[in-house]
Homo-oligomer: A and B are copies of this chain.
Amino acid sequence: MKKIKKEKSVGIVKTEYYTFAYPPNELILESGEKLGPITLAYETYGRLNKDKSNAILILHALSGDAHAAGYHSLNDRKPGWWDIMIGPQKAFDTNKYFIICSNVIGGCKGSTGPNSINPKTGKPYGLSFPVITIKDMVNAQKHLIDYLGIKRLLSLAGGSMGGMQVLQWTVSYPDMCYSAIPIATAPYLSAQAIAFNEVGRQAILADPNWKNGNYYNTNKIPSKGLAIARMIGHITYLSEESMHKKFGRRLQDKDKYSYKFLTEFQVESYLHHQGDSFVKRFDANSYLYITKAMDYFDISAGYKSLVDAFKNVKAKFLVISFSSDWLFPPSQSKEIANALRKNLKDVSYVEIKSSYGHDAFLLESKQLTILIKKFLNRISKEVMGKNA
């Protein structure tokens, strides 16, 4: 524990589970399908204050989970996925705020998803799991926030798909969101991003071990297809500049070309490693469902315009983008900020100069911390007064 304390960590944490939507009260999905019972895996850090006014909901990205901060055991090598941002005195200061993070539905880290047992059949859902959307993910989280007795979240924050959920929360439940921090995200998924998602899905579908999604009871998983999907994704998370700096044309463990179909360049070795390690921790069907949910995301769908979609939001916004992010480029964050401004909402927009590409939301902790601390200080003073 000594080392953990030194890092200003939340320490050892435990994932909790909340189950709801038992039949006949299933969650009605956007598709019209019903899903229930639903379990959400979640973690909390810090303490909920007496009037339950200090809660911040953290929303994770495509491959994230409920484990956003701290360690599950003393032997854990790595902390939660946003540990650099969540902890005592960090951006999301657990001395002041009560932080919640839940795994999305459709995921594979404890929340109900395609690898869960379908109670009607006693077998894993596989492709019989209904297609879910960002709105469905948010509607499920709403049940968890109700269960925790929280009437209004002090803030919500998340990058990438996490930012989509932030936006959806502010539109679906305006009275429950005092403020919102969408990071490296977009009001809708672009054609280019849909295209990359689709190629990743095709790679999974082409893997003979995928077996139309029914691979859970076989001893093989569609690891090659999933690794390819992850490699494609990973290229889009980095910038050309960061790849050039990190790898350039350096060779892997050699100083001359081999003129063979072997791993030749460091960038290839890096991608293989990313693919292989992802396969060990993520479910291929979840990858299909979650990328599909991202494809469907368009916060203005059903409204006259993006401006119209934000008409009733009440949250005060801090919108953040990164200069070298080409998957969710700054122009898309500006669209969000501009549409909010046209509604005369309270919005700050910051483009952080960074060479890290889309991954910057996981890496640029220093600049993010300065911005978010300042924003949350202001927000918490408004809500909690001088005691904040």
Contacts and interface: CB of A to CB of B under 8 A. Distances in A.
Interface of A: 29-33, 127, 130-131, 188-192, 194-196, 198-199, 201-203, 206-208, 224-225, 227-228, 231-232, 235, 238, 240, 243-244, 246-249, 257, 259-261, 264-265, 267-268, 271, 275, 288, 292, 295-296, 298, 326, 329
A89 to B, nearest CB: 37
A271 B288 CA distance: 17
Given A195-B271, A199-B231, A203-B206, 6 more contacts: A191-B267, A195-B267, A195-B268, A202-B227, A202-B275, A206-B206
A194 B259 contact: no
12 contacts: A130-B259, A131-B260, A131-B261, A191-B240, A191-B246, A191-B265, A194-B265, A202-B228, A202-B231, A203-B203, A203-B228, A232-B232
A192 B326 CA distance: 13
A324 to B, nearest CB: 12
Contacts of A296: 257, 264
A265 B295 contact: yes
Contacts of A196: 235
A288 B267 contact: no
Given A198-B271, A235-B196, A298-B249, A206 B191 contact: no
A231 B225 CA distance: 15
B190 A244 contact: yes
A202 B279 CA distance: 15
Which 10 A/B pairs are nearest by Cβ-Cβ distance? A31-B259, A206-B224, A191-B243, A131-B259, A191-B247, A191-B267, A198-B268, A199-B231, A192-B240, A195-B235
